[in-house]
C-alpha cells in the first residue's frame, strides 16, 4: 500500500474527504517525526510504539577491499508492534 492508497483507505473508513485524510496523514507523520527528533517515543496502545534506538560504533569491512572500517554510532527510528496489531496479523 502506498501513500495515496492509504489516504483512500483513511477517507473511506473515517468519512473524511480525501483532502482531509491526506492532511491528517501528513499531520500524523509530522507529529511522529517531530517527537522522534526530540528523542521522545510515540505509543499508540494496541498498535505499537515508535522510538529512537541508538546503535553503537562498530567495526565492519569494506566489501571491495576487505579492509576494516569503523562504522559510526547512529540513532535510528524503530517501530515495535503492539499486541492488538500482532494478533490481527495471525
For 11-49, write each residue's pLDDT tens digit. 999 999 999 999 999 999 999 999 999 999 999 999 999
pLDDT confidence of residue 26 = 97
Residue 30's alpha-carbon distances to 34, 52, 57, in angstroms, are: 6, 15, 29
86 plus 49 within the same structural domain? yes
27 plus 55 within the same structural domain? no
CATH code, domain carrying 50: 4.10.520.10
53 plus 15 within the same structural domain? no
Q: Which of 42, 11, 40 is nearest to 24 (CA)?
A: 11
Quote the number of domains for the chain. 2
75 plus 57 within the same structural domain? yes
23 plus 57 within the same structural domain? no
Q: State the residue range of the domain holding 65.
A: 41-90
Please, what is the angle between helix 18-37 and helix 3-14, to 10°? 110
Residue 22's alpha-carbon distances to 2, 29, 33, 88, in angstroms, are: 12, 11, 16, 25
52 plus 87 within the same structural domain? yes
Q: Which of 60, 64, 62, 39 is nearest to 50 (CA)?
A: 39
Amino acid at each position: 500500500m502506498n501513500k495515496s492508497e492509504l489516504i483512500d483507505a483513511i477517507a473511506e473508513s473515517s468519512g473524511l474527504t480525501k483532502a482531509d485524510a491526506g492532511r491528517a496523514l501528513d499531520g500524523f507523520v509530522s507529529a511522529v517525526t517531530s517527537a522522534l527528533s526530540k528523542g521522545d517515543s510515540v505509543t499508540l496502545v494496541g498498535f505499537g510504539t515508535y522510538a529512537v534506538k541508538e546503535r553503537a560504533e562498530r567495526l565492519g569491512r569494506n566489501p571491495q577491499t576487505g579492509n576494516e572500517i569503523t562504522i559510526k554510532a547512529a540513532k535510528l527510528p524503530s517501530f515495535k508492534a503492539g499486541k492488538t496489531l500482532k494478533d490481527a496479523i495471525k
